[in-house]
Structure 1
Amino acid sequence: MFPTGCSSSTSPSRPDRPRSRSTRPTEMRVALVTNIVSPYRAPVFRRLAETPGWRLRIFTSAKTEFDRSWNVDTGGLDVVRVRGASLVRRGRTLHLPLALPLALRRFRPELVVSGELGPRSWLALLYCVVARVPLVLWTYPSRTGGQRAQGWRLALRQALLRRARAVIGMGAQAREALTAWGVPDGAIHDAPNAHDAEGLHKALARVDPEAARRGLRAGLGCRDRIALYAGRLIETKGVAPLLDVWDELAPGLRSSWTLLLLGSGPLEERVRHAARTHERGEIVHVRAVPESEVAAFYAGADLLVLPSLEETWGVVANEAMACGLPVCGSRLAGCADDLLLEGETGWVFDPHLAHDFAAALQRALDCPDRERLGAQARRHAACFGPDAMADGMRRAIAAAAERERGPA
C-alpha cells in the first residue's frame, strides 16, 4: 500500500557517433522500448528525459493502437518509430518490432528499459546480450493476469525476468504477481501508474461543474445523481455484469440515479438495449468522446464504477479520483490495492460474485458521505502522478546501472 499523503518520430533512426570506451561517459544513454506513447505516458517520459546526466530515446512500434483515436503531442521527446509488424488478436494488438536490435545498435545505449514480457522484450534482450548492457523490464501484471499465466507462457516470462537487472512493476498487484513468478523482492521497483495530471487539470479548468451537471441532466436526460462508467465496452471491462447487477438493486434506490455508460465497443448494442428497456433516464449511453471532453463527465457525475473482470491498472480511476469522485471498483483491477480504500476513497467488490458486487454498489449509492470520500480520493490520487511514477522508474534504472558497474 502506498502512502495516502503525499512514426510520430521526432528523431530519425540514425547512427550515433561512437563513444570512446577509454573514458567515462558524461551522460548515460537510456533506451526505453514501448508500444506507443499514450497521453498519460508522455508526462512520465518527459520527466525521465529531464533526469540530469541522461539521454533518453524512446523506441515505439506504432503511433496509436487500432482501437484508440489518440493524437499525442510528443514534443520535447526523442521518439523513434521502429519498423516491424503489428497483428490484432482477440481484441489486442501484438507488435513485432523486428528492426529493434538494429535501431538500438545505432543509438548505443548503456541501458535498455523494455515494456511488457513479449516479443518486444526478447528482441531488446538480444541487443543487450550482444552489446553487454543491462536490461530493465517494465511490466504490470494484475492479480488475474498473474494467476492465469501457466505452462510455456509462464516459463518464457520467468526466463526473461531472470535476465533482467531490475524489474519495474506498477503497484501492489504487479509486485504480488512478479514475486509469485520468482522475481526477488529486492529486484522489484514500484512505479504505480499515473494519469496525465497536467492535461486533466487544464481540461477541468475549462469546465464549469454546475454547468456540466446541468448539461448531463438536461441534455442527456440523466437523473439527479449519476454513477459513471467510462471505458471501452468490451467483455473484460465487466460491462455485462454491471448491467445485470444494476437490475438487482431495489427500484427505490435506483429511482434517483442514472447509470451513465461512456464508451464504444462490441457491447454497444447490449448497452443500447438496456437503455431502451429501462425507464427514461435510468440507463444512458454516450459513445466515446475525445480525451479532452471526458473531464466534463467527471465533473458532472457523483461516482465512478470500475467493474473490470481483468485490468492491468485502470487509469480511469486515477482520473476520476483526481476530479473528486469516489470509486466503486473491482478488486481485480490492477489499481484496486493501491487506489481503492474501502470506506475511504470508495468501495471494493469481487465482480464474479453478484451479491458482493450488488452490496458494494448499494453502499455507494446509499452513502451519505460521498463528498467526504471524494475529497479523500482527490488527495490520495495526488500521490499517483507522473512524478511518482518517474521516480520509481529512475530508482530501477539507477539500481540496474549500479549493479552492472559492480563494487567500486
Structure 2
Amino acid sequence: MVSHPIQYYSPWFRWMSAHGWTLRVFFLWDFGVVKKTDREFGRELAWDVDLLSGYEHEFVPNAARDPGTHHLRGLNNPSLNHRIQQWKPDAILVFGYKYVSHLKLILSTDTPLIFRGDSHLLDVPAPRPLKRGLLRCLYARFSAITYVGLANRDYFRTFGVPEKKLFHVPHCVNAEHFVASESNRAQAVALKESLGLSGCKILLFAGKLIPKKQPRELLAAFLSTDVTTGDAALVFVGEGEELAALRQLAATRTDKLVRFLPFANQSEMPSRYLLANIFALPSRGPEETWGLAVNEAMHLGVPCLVSDRVGCQRDLVTDKETGWVFSVDTPDGLRDALHRAFADIDRDAEGFRQRVAARIAGYTYATATKGLALAVQHAVAPSGRVV
C-alpha cells in the first residue's frame, strides 16, 4: 500500500514482479502520473518515466476533500480495506502511517503487516512520552519492520521494536537508469559548455530549493571559500521558494561562478549528475529522511558532501572516503567541508570515484528484495503460511 506512484518505488515493484513475486500495489492517490502542483517545487509536476507498467496495481478512489500527503486526511480511501481483502494477500507491505487510510488499515486488519518508513531522530527533539507510547503501540501492530539504514534502525529501536522484527531493506533507486551512457555523457558535456563552465570543477545541488535543504547556506559557503575564481562553479538544478533569494545573493558576487538550471525531470537527471565533481545535500531538516539523490549521484560515481543530519550519511557517506561530512552545529563547518572537498578532488578524483562505486554497489533492488523476503517469511510464519 503506497500513497501514490513514486519514481523510486515503481521500478522496484516492476523488478520484483519480473523476479517471481506475486504482488499488487494499491495506490491511494494519482500524483506523479497525473499532472498536479508540487507544493515544495512550486510548480505542476508529472514524472516523465513509466511508473505503472510491469506490475499489477490499482488506484483506490480517494474521498479526501484536499487530496495529498501534506495532511492526515489527504489520503482517505473508504474502500481500501475491502479491496485489499478481496485480493487475499499473505502479507501487506505498508509505506508510512500518517494518513487516515493507513491508520484504518493498520488498526483493523488481521492480515500480517510489514512496515516501511525512513524516519530518524537526527534533527528532531526527543519524543515526548505520549508520542513514544502511541508509536510503540502502533509499531507493535506490525509483524515485521523494514529499516532503510542505520539512523532509521535506531529510530525503530527507540520506539520499542525488538531486534527480531527488524529487517534491513536498504533505500534504493533504479540503478539501471542512473548510468554514464554515451548519450548522458554527451548531454552533460553540451550542457556544461552552454553554461560556460568547461574546465571547471562543479559543485552540484539538485532538488527542491527549500529552507530545510539549506541551499542558501550552501551558496554563502561557496561564495566565502578561497577556491580559485574561474576554477570552480556552483550549479543549482531545481525550483522552490528559495530561488529568488539565491539569485539575489549570487548577483552580489559576479567574480564567482554560480549557475541556475530549472527543474529537471527523471529522464534528464543522469546528465545533470554527470556535470558534477561533487554533489551537495547540506540539509538541516527537519525530516530530511534519507536523501535518495545521494544514491542517484553515487551510481554515477559522484562523491557527496552532506550534513550529519541527512539520514543516509552513516550508511553511504564516510568523510574523506566516499565524500565529506560536516556538522550543522559547527560554525563554518560547511565552508570548511567545501574547501576540503575541492582540495581532495584535485588530489584523488579517481580514488573517490572508485570508493563511491564500491559503496553504492549493494544498494540495488536485488539487495532490497532479499531483505524484504526475510521480512515476509517472518511475518507469515506464525500463521503457518508459506511464501
Instruction: Give the TM-score band, short-chain normalised.
Output: 0.7 to 0.9
- Which residue matches 1:12? none
Contact 1:190 1:392 in 2 (8 A): yes
TM-score, structure 2 normalization: 0.87
- Which residue matches 1:307? 282
What is the aligned-residue RMSD (CA, Å)? 2.5
Q: Distance in 2 between matches of 1:145 and 1:55?
A: 38
Q: Distance in 1 between matches of 2:217 and 2:73?
A: 25
Which amino acid in the other structure matches residue 290 of structure 1? N
- Which residue matches 2:253? 278
Contact 1:204 1:296 in 2 (8 A): no
2:300 corresponds, among 323, 326, 340, to 323
SS of equivalent residue, structure 1 residue 397? helix
Which amino acid in the other structure matches residue 93 of structure 2? V
Which amino acid in the other structure matches residue 170 of structure 2? P
C-alpha deviation, 1:126, in angstroms: 3.7
Distance 1:149 1:263, change over 3 A: farther
1:231 corresponds, among 188, 207, 232, to 207
Distance 1:196 1:82, change over 3 A: same
Q: Distance in 1 between matches of 2:218 and 2:77?
A: 37
Q: Distance in 1 between matches of 2:181 and 2:336?
A: 32
TM-score, structure 1 normalization: 0.83
Distance 1:204 1:406, change over 3 A: closer
Q: Distance in 1 between matches of 2:10 and 2:233?
A: 34
Q: Which runs of 5+ in 2 are unaligned?
A: 39-44
Q: Distance in 1 between matches of 2:274 and 2:385?
A: 51
- Which residue matches 2:80? 100
2:4 corresponds, among 26, 33, 36, to 36
Contact 2:136 2:160 in 1 (8 A): yes
2:23 corresponds, among 45, 56, 63, to 56
SS of equivalent residue, structure 1 residue 354? coil
Contact 2:144 2:375 in 1 (8 A): yes
Contact 1:213 1:301 in 2 (8 A): no
Q: Distance in 2 between matches of 1:343 and 1:195?
A: 24
Contact 1:260 1:284 in 2 (8 A): yes
Which amino acid in the other structure matches residue 344 of structure 1? E
- Which residue matches 1:402? 381
Tell me the matched-pair count. Answer: 367
SS of equivalent residue, structure 2 residue 25? strand
Contact 2:219 2:250 in 1 (8 A): no
Q: Which runs of 5+ in 1 are unaligned?
A: 1-32
C-alpha deviation, 1:88, in angstroms: 5.2
1:177-216 superposed matches below 5 A:
177-201=155-179, 204-208=181-185, 212-213=188-189, 215-216=191-192
- Which residue matches 2:42? none
C-alpha deviation, 1:222, in angstroms: 2.9
C-alpha deviation, 1:38, in angstroms: 1.6
Q: Distance in 1 between matches of 2:79 and 2:102?
A: 13
Distance 1:336 1:160, change over 3 A: same
Which amino acid in the other structure matches residue 23 of structure 2? L
C-alpha deviation, 1:327, in angstroms: 0.6
Q: Distance in 2 between matches of 1:360 and 1:346?
A: 10
Distance 1:257 1:127, change over 3 A: same
- Which residue matches 2:357? 378
- Which residue matches 2:195? 220
Distance 1:204 1:312, change over 3 A: farther
C-alpha deviation, 1:43, in angstroms: 2.2
Which amino acid in the other structure matches residue 63 of structure 1? D
